[in-house]
Amino acid sequence: MFADESLQKVVEEGVIPNAYARYTWRGITLKNGEVAILTPSNNSMGLYCNSGRYITINYTLSRSAFHRSRVRAYVAGPSSEFVREITASGLRSGFTTQATDYYYGMVTNLSSDAFTIKSFSITF
């Protein structure tokens, strides 16, 4: 990233930790009933993906807990989403998109005690 295209002065650089990950979130703590809505910081609608693509979610929690994970299309909503309610400390799964849309992740804590999302990635 450059401060000014004419000066070509580097103001920020870094290494992408996983070249295949489109976005990763870390360190979000949820209490009973709380929901984390996971969208890129630069785009509140989600990650743009074409219809017919396979989206994978991969996440780990700080402990095994009853929770709901979801990847949903911003415009199409429930007609193009992946939902799981499980007791586990993480999940790696996915689905094929039904619509060209912006997709975002959600995690809901359905257990009595808090847990932390150690890592949540969406890839496609």
pLDDT tens sequence across 103-119? 999 999 999 999 999 99
Residue 111's pLDDT is what? 96
Is the pLDDT at 21 greater than 60, yes or no? no
With a CB cutoff of 8 Å and minimum separation 6, the contacts of 54 are 94, 95, 96, 97, 124
In terms of Cα–Cα distance, which of 48, 54, 101, 93 is closest to 73?
Answer: 101
Whether 56 is covered by a domain: the verdict is yes
Q: Evaluate whether residue 7 is within a structural domain.
A: no
Distances in whole angstroms, Cα of residue 120 to Cα of each of 12, 55, 76, 86, 100: 24, 13, 22, 16, 22
Residue 77 lies in a domain: yes
Q: How far apart are CA 30 and CA 38, in angstroms?
A: 13
Residue 115 counted as domain residue: yes
- pLDDT for 16: 40
**Domain annotation covers residue 17:** no
- Check which CATH number belongs to the domain holding 108 and give it: 2.60.120.260
> In this structure, are residues 82 and 70 in contact, taking their beta carbons and an 8 Å threshold?
yes
The amino acid present at 27, given as its one-letter code, is G
Residues 29-64: tens digit of each pLDDT: 999 999 999 888 765 788 888 899 999 999 999 999
- Please tell me the predicted confidence (pLDDT) of residue 33: 92
Domain hosting 32: range is: 23-123
Percentage of the chain exceeding pLDDT 70: 81
Judged against a pLDDT cut of 80, whether residue 101 lies above it is answered with yes
Our count of domains for the chain comes to 1
The pLDDT value recorded for residue 2 is 36
Tell me the CA end-to-end span of the chain in Å, nearest whole number: 24
